[in-house]
Amino acid sequence: QKEVEQNSGPLSVPEGAIASLNCTYSDRGSQSFFWYRQYSGKSPELIMSIYSNGDKEDGRFTAQLNRASQYVSLLIRDSQPSDSATYLCAVFWDTGRRALTFGSGTRLQVQP
Amino acid sequence: NAGVMQNPRHLVRRRGQEARLRCSPMKGHSHVYWYRQLPEEGLKFMVYLQKENIIDESGMPKERFSAEFPKEGPSILRIQQVVRGDSAAYFCASSPRSTLTGELFFGEGSRLTVL
């Protein structure tokens, strides 16, 4: 089992719709979770972090964490063509590796 | 206000040659991470360094790969005797502190092509 798993996509949604991106992770103790966005040919940039069970909202983005089910998701409301990118889920475990572990990413396409 | 600077942005090497990739972290950042990204794949952790110390190299192949972050100057990722499978984008990221809040600042990457 991979440590951090994402569906590679592409996930295609029409402009204005809600895009839902999901990520599952291995249970290895205390974790912190992050969503990065990477445009084609560019470097990743952090868009959301979440540490506690439940929802965290920031503008059009909502991160959801469910520790019991070991998944974290990212919702993008009112999706725009400019949201078309690859979204990388990342986990930091307090034990073991001293760095973020990334999933393989989900490619999102927002159709105008 | 310079971000994380990586060079070269593009590097072409023939099999068996050496590749040296450089990374200057953001000002005030003393923690550097190297990741490798193959086409259509996520970021694979390679090594985490602080000034003059390798903290975690669990993701770096034991042979041909080495990394350093000297007291003065940039961090360097060195790949000896490159093979075609080394072709990838190599991203460097920096952080101001060791306890990760997830805020890694990435450079634009160095894209290595091995012929």
The span from the CA of B91 to the CA of A31, in Å, is: 23
Count other Cβ atoms within 10 Å, centred on residue A75. Answer: 17
| Confidence at residue A59, expressed as pLDDT on a 0 to 100 scale | 96
Tokens matching residue B73: 């100057």
Q: Between residues 5 and 24 of chain A, which touch chain B (CB distance below 8 Å)?
A: 6, 8
pLDDT of residue B99: 62
Q: What is the pLDDT of residues B41-80, one digit of tens each?
A: 889 999 999 989 999 999 999 999 999 999 999 999 999 9
Phi, psi (degrees; rounded to nearest 5) at A83:
-80, -10
Find tokens 């979440």 and name the residue.
Answer: A50
Q: Which of A32, A43, A97 sits opposite B102 (nearest CB)?
A: A32
pLDDT, tens digit, for every residue of B22-48?
Answer: 999 999 899 999 999 988 788 999 999
Upper half-sphere CA count for residue A86 (Cβ side, 13 Å): 24
Helix (H, G, I), strand (E, B) or coil at B60: coil
Those of residues 52-111 in B touching chain A at CB distance below 8 A are: 55-56, 58-59, 91, 98, 100-104, 106-109
Q: Is B98 helix (H, G, I), strand (E, B) or coil?
A: coil
